[in-house]
Chain A
Amino acid sequence: MADAVTQVDTPVRGASSPSPKGRGFDVKRLPGFATVAWMCLLVLYAPMLVLVLFSVNDNRSVTIWTKFSWRWYEEVINNEGIQHATVLSLKVAVVAMVVATAVATMAALATTRTRAYRGLPVVYGIINQPLMVPEIVTAVATLSFFALIKQATGVTGLGYLILAHTVFCIPFAYMPIRARLEDMDLTLEQASADLYATPWRTFRRVTFPLLLPGIFAGAMLAFVISLDDVVISLLVAGPGESTLPIYIIGQLRRGVTPEMNAVSTIFLAVSILLVTFFFVLARARK
């Protein structure tokens, strides 16, 4: 793929090649597009930079800069509400991630590298279903369903929230695992089978190690998605089950405080770190 691109690139962009429109005519350039692109970048990052900047500002006002200080971070660390919410968020995200990744890995193994079989499109449809329904619809549907179960069985607990998270994490975990599998070399597994390895042994010693970067990438996405969720958690979570986003949205309704900047900055940093890690893993493909 990369080779094909460079091959196309060279004759087109090479300034030395004789072009009917004369030297230096770049067929790829469209005037003004670069400006818009830089503007987009500015628009995307400026608000986040403001958020980060005022998280280290020693002033209750989130508009006027006075001096650098870590005090809001100290307050965040000592805030019991945030502590509880963080622990709960992590609990939910870790369990949802583990279950979703395991289930998605199995599904990916059975839906890639095979001939099209009956029911395959249906399986694809089911796995991607959480992506196709608007979040608010999933949220109220899950709420209604769980209310019904709670009424019938009387069982309550964190399990419901975790289950709801697992569902929408599955397609996100599935995507990179499937992509990795499709890129993998089938001949290695065939060689292993030729050398009298059982299917299980082939999976453990050949397929699984090769698939591992994909599994990590999938787990990463599932974790981030679970951690970020607002709408479904807001409707499904029972009393006392405030995840960090629910806590933040509750606080924001009461007004903007620099403490919220600090906790948001930490949240932002974690997300960016995980996504960067995901990028590195995806790059490790070749």
Chain B
Amino acid sequence: MTTSSLTRATLAKDLRLEWRSKDAINSMLFFALLVVVIFSFSFNPTAEESRQIAGGLVWVAFLFAAVVALNQTWARELRNQVLDAYRVSPAPANSLFLAKAFGNFIFVAVLEALMTPLFIVFYNLRALGPTWQLPVVAALGTWALVVNGTFFAAMSIRTRSREIMLPLLLFPISIPAVLAMVEATSAILSGEYSARPWIALLATYDVVFTTGCLLLFETVLDAE
């Protein structure tokens, strides 16, 4: 089996599991919904204000919701020693990593697609800048969260109190990515300045950390 076919097989398995249980997507959706409602309540912004703060709110909601899904990534494989079986099998570790990262990317992307209309309704959003850049920012930003999140989730399953450990590891490292996502989104919504340097920064972040994860994942998976 080649790397890509192994990735596809694992990804299909995860998607099928999720399709049947809908654990991750349901909890993420409800969580993000709560964040949206609470923020909207507590700030009750006008259209002009919401353009300035929405970038931050959207991404904070997605970031917290993504952690819910990321925590489930590997926990599922611990039952019945599935992860040990992966480690003993001759399959390349990176194909497993990529499958998990793609899976999380799909979950978070679905969440974003479902939540965006809600944000538009609650915050009366209308982009004043080039709207076509928004999906680009969303894709790059989601990948930035998910690639490191999947990696750190694999690290945090080895720790005590692993559910708490993941955000503690992920958030500090993600600061530049979160800043870039928020600023790019605000730039597009307000139309006051260009989002391009931020998109470039996000793309750089993605390339750097995807490379880093692929180089080091086998080490982390095999750690005793």
| A, B assembled together | no
Binding site for B on A (CB under 8 A): none
Binding site for A on B (CB under 8 A): none
